Amino acid sequence: GITVRLILHYSRPGTPIIVLLTVGLSWALTYSTCLVVPLDLLLDDDIDKHSLEVAWNGIYWASFVLTWFLIPILQGYYDAGEFTFQSRLKSSVRSNLIFYGVCCALFVGFVIYVTVTKGMAGRDILGFLMCLSNVWGLTFAILLLGYGLVEVPRRFWHKGNRLLMLSSLQYQASQIHEEMEQCKDDLVQTLRLLDYLDPKLDRRHPCRKYFDIVRDNMPVEEDFGIEDLNSVRPIDQLGIVSEIKAAKEIHMQHMIRLNYHVKHLTYVLWLVDAQWKDTIDQAIKTEQYLIERRPTSEPLMLELSRTSSPLTHSSTDDDEREAKLTSTAPADTFWAKLRWRTKVHISPYFNRSSAIIFTLSSCLIVWCELTLLSPTDLSPFSYLVDSLRPSVSAVEWIALLPVIYMFVCASFALFLFDYFDFT
């Protein structure tokens, strides 16, 4: 259920089904470890332990293949600017081979250096390699968890102050608006480039059919509030624009680069527009709650909330956002009124209480990590598990809740990093 909701929330319309299935499988394998960990504390029978070992091996090797082979190949394939299946797959494999080749060369050089300077034997080298194989995952997990253990409680604490949240949303909206203007400039330059290439590539030109494919995939300027390209102010040219205009003859490599640029621009346009809509929707709801609790308060985001996206200008979007902004009163049904009152009056206190609970949980987890090598068992979780071991369900919950919290903190930090976008 969590994996499905994440995919529905983060996936872009038109995402290939194989990408959705691959990402869903990788997330499902990751989150399934939350359910397997408590079983390690309970199973005593050899047969059960063997089954658990099979499950752990299956999760590990499936995640290994997805992480280091399948997902990089798929990402390179769908990001490639080539036009045929074979060429896109070849480009993806080639780029991954170059990356892994450089990494392997650096790794082998490092191992040789350590072996020579430290005088390690064959068994020592094997142990050293096993240690290095876990360094990347453990280091990355520690960084994500360290950030999430602090940021998750802090985020819930700030959500309890709606004036602060509204100011934060206003700041985010201004940043997103600047990104939108940059995206619109890039779109205008690309559209002008296509208009420049159109008469140069006649029907007999070998690149004409690929140019038509790029043009068909190009976003329409009217959808982004651009009615006349000549009315847009001149801007510095993109690298791809300067390169193609300086070329004496258009080759296939230019079409590949142009196709890659258009695909990336389309993704960025969708991403920024989605961020804008999400920020404005949150601002509208937050402002509604503030007005309900303080009817005389001055709306901070009123004008911004009434503004449609600078990228997608639609009368339907304007009508929907106007309806959201003006519908501050709940529906007439009992449950709708109850849900509305809960969000208005109880939600801030719930968020502050959750922040306190999460802060204590973060402190307990950090304490357990700090005392992990202590000769005396100082872990509160270990004490609870030992004292409640006769109760299977109690042990499962004591082991499950901290693991789920750590997964949430690490995942929260991971989703904030733009580096791991699967475009």
How much is the pTM?
0.77
Q: Is the pLDDT of residue 155 over 90?
A: yes
Q: pLDDT band at 418, cuts 50/70/90?
A: low
Please state the rounded mean pLDDT for residues 29-39: 82
Q: Is the pLDDT of residue 93 over 90?
A: yes
Q: What is the mean pLDDT of the chain?
A: 80
Return the DSSP state at 389: T
Q: How do residues 236-262 score in pLDDT, each as one tens digit? A: 556 777 788 777 888 888 899 989 988
> Residue 422 carries which side chain, given as an amino acid letter?
F
Q: Is the pLDDT of residue 126 over 80?
A: no
Query: What is the pLDDT at residue 342?
Result: 85
What's the rounded Cα separation, in Å, for the pair 159 and 354?
10
> Residue 208 carries which side chain, given as an amino acid letter?
R
Q: Is the pLDDT of residue 53 over 80?
A: yes
Reduced 3-state DSSP string for 138-160: HHHHHHHHHHHHHHHHHHHHHHC
Q: Is the pLDDT of residue 235 over 60?
A: no
Query: What is the pLDDT at residue 228?
Result: 52
Residue with tokens 């790029």: 214
Q: How do residues 345-359 score in pLDDT, each as one tens digit? A: 899 999 999 999 999
Q: Is the pLDDT of residue 328 over 60?
A: no
Answer with the residue of higher pLDDT: 110 or 47: 110
Most confident stretch, 1-5, 115-119, 210-214, 384-388: 210-214
Query: What is the pLDDT at residue 310?
Result: 52
No. of helices (H) and no. of strands (E), the chain: 16, 0
- Cβ within 8 Å of residue 225, ≥6 positions away: 184, 310, 311, 312, 313
DSSP string, 376-411: S---HHHHHHHHTTT-HHHHHHHHHHHHHHHHHHHH
Q: pLDDT band at 230, cuts 50/70/90?
A: low
Answer with the residue of higher pLDDT: 7 or 321: 7
What's the rounded Cα separation, in Å, for the pair 161 and 163?
6
209 close to 83: Cβ distance less than 8 angstroms: no
Query: What is the pLDDT at residue 400?
Result: 84
What's the rounded Cα separation, in Å, for the pair 185 and 269?
11
Answer with the residue of higher pLDDT: 103 or 133: 103
